[in-house]
């Protein structure tokens, strides 16, 4: 899939603490490219084996094993392997904001979040909402969603820029 997104993060009291926007592409299993354009540039690339996180301002790349980096995260639902669906408890939620909602709670008690909500409109996935274990709420809205687009394998390859600090591996 391919889409543009806006992301808003609110603290446990509901106060907005961050906002970002960008675009992403996903090809299951484990391959994705999540590019944040605003407020600062950041690129996350999953090549199926590793996840590369590049912070342009810091000129730093963090590399993690794909399974450890995705685990039971929302990204695992979108880009993970089919078995990931068994890692969550699922329930239907009431319709709201013009969307039909599905909720997921991780079976792994060590997960970084307590609840994930997926919102669907007539075209498919339109929103994701994540509540972490500290009550922080992340809301992602998708625009211009394309399902099953032709994607170049190059989108899922990452080579650290010359001079970048590389951490992990």
pLDDT tens column, 124-140? 899 999 998 889 999 99
For residues 141 and 5, the answer to whether their CB atoms sit within 8 Å is yes
Mean pLDDT taken over the chain: 87
Mean pLDDT is lowest, of 19-28, 36-45, 76-85, for 76-85
Domain positions in the chain: 2-159
Please report the pLDDT score of residue 72 as a whole number.
Answer: 46
- The H or E element containing residue 55 is strand 50-55
* Global confidence as pTM: 0.80
Answer with the residue of higher pLDDT: 141 or 78.
141
pLDDT score recorded for residue 107: 85
State both tokens at 105.
């709670």
The reported pLDDT for the residue numbered 82 is 52
Average pLDDT over residues 25-31: 84
Identify whether the C-beta of residue 86 lies closer than 8 Å to the C-beta of residue 106: no
Cα atoms found within 13 Å of the Cα of residue 136, Cβ hemisphere only: 12
Fold of 2-159: outer membrane lipoprotein receptor (LolB), chain A (2.50.20)
Question: Could you report the per-residue pLDDT of 73-112, keeping only the tens digit for each?
Answer: 555 566 655 566 677 889 999 999 999 999 988 887 777 7
Least confident of 26-35, 66-75, 91-100: 66-75
Q: Which tens digit of pLDDT belongs to each residue from 157-166?
A: 999 999 999 9
């Amino acid at each position: 899939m391919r889409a543009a997104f806006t992301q808003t993060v609110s603290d446990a009291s509901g106060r907005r603490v961050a906002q970002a926007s960008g675009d992403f592409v996903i090809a299951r299993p484990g391959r994705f490219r999540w590019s944040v354009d605003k407020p600062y540039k950041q690129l996350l690339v999953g090549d199926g084996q590793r996840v590369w996180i590049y912070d342009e301002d810091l000129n730093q790349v963090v590399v993690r094993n794909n399974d450890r980096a995705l685990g039971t995260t929302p990204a695992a639902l979108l880009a993970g392997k089919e078995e990931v669906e068994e890692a969550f408890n699922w329930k239907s939620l009431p319709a709201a904001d013009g969307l039909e909602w599905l909720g997921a709670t991780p079976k792994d008690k060590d997960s970084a979040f307590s609840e994930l909500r997926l919102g669907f409109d007539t075209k498919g996935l339109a929103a994701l909402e994540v509540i972490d274990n500290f009550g922080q709420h992340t809301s992602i809205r998708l625009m211009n969603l394309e399902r099953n687009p032709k994607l170049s394998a190059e989108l899922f390859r990452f080579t650290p820029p010359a001079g970048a600090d590389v951490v992990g591996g």
